[in-house]
Amino acid sequence: MKYTTLYLSGILALCLLYSCSKVDESIQRDIVLSSGPVTFNVPVISVFTDSTLVKLGTFNASANLDAMIRSETDQEFGAANILNIKISQLRLELSETDTVNSLGNFLLLNAQLVNGSDAPITLASKDNNSTSTANIINLPIVSGSRDLKQYLEGTNTSYTINAIVQSPTTKTMKATVTPYYTITLGK
């Protein structure tokens, strides 16, 4: 009986030791990052059609994701650990505005991601925009926003900010766009 108990204890200890060497730590976490603000000039728009989208500006969407992630995670994760990327906020701010030239000139505002010759993807959109003289808006993210990993890791990807004009602008305004992403990382 004594040998049987000792024998079973030894087998149990070996099983525990063997199973512990098979454990692989799996870590998954989300971080929110911004690629930083980008500026462009919104031109004077004096001629427009009620339902036609007008391009306000375009800017490059690529960023050094590896450096941004490593900085945010104390070097624990990098671009190789990205599982997916979703846009979580897109902030548009106009400067050099006045009572005649502001976000109120635009009935609809949207942000699209363009990747080479692929069809644009609408990421954020605001319809029935107020006619107030506001100069900052967080464009609502389109429901079901897709994984942007393949787009943001590419080099031929850009954002386009479009609008449907509801009243003409009389001067150039400076626009600053800041995209924020929720990045899921895993090891």
Where b means 16+ CB within 10 Å and e means fewer, 83-105 reads: ebbbbbbbbbbbeebeeebbbbb
User: For 74-124, what is each residue's pLDDT tens digit?
Assistant: 999 999 999 999 999 999 999 999 999 999 999 999 999 988 778 888 999
**Between residues 13 and 148, which one has the greater pLDDT?**
148
- Reported confidence tier of residue 48, pLDDT bands at 50, 70, 90: confident
Q: Which CATH architecture best describes the domain 27-186?
A: Sandwich (2.60)
- CA gap 106, 168 in Å, rounded: 9
Q: Chain centroid to CA 17: how far?
A: 44
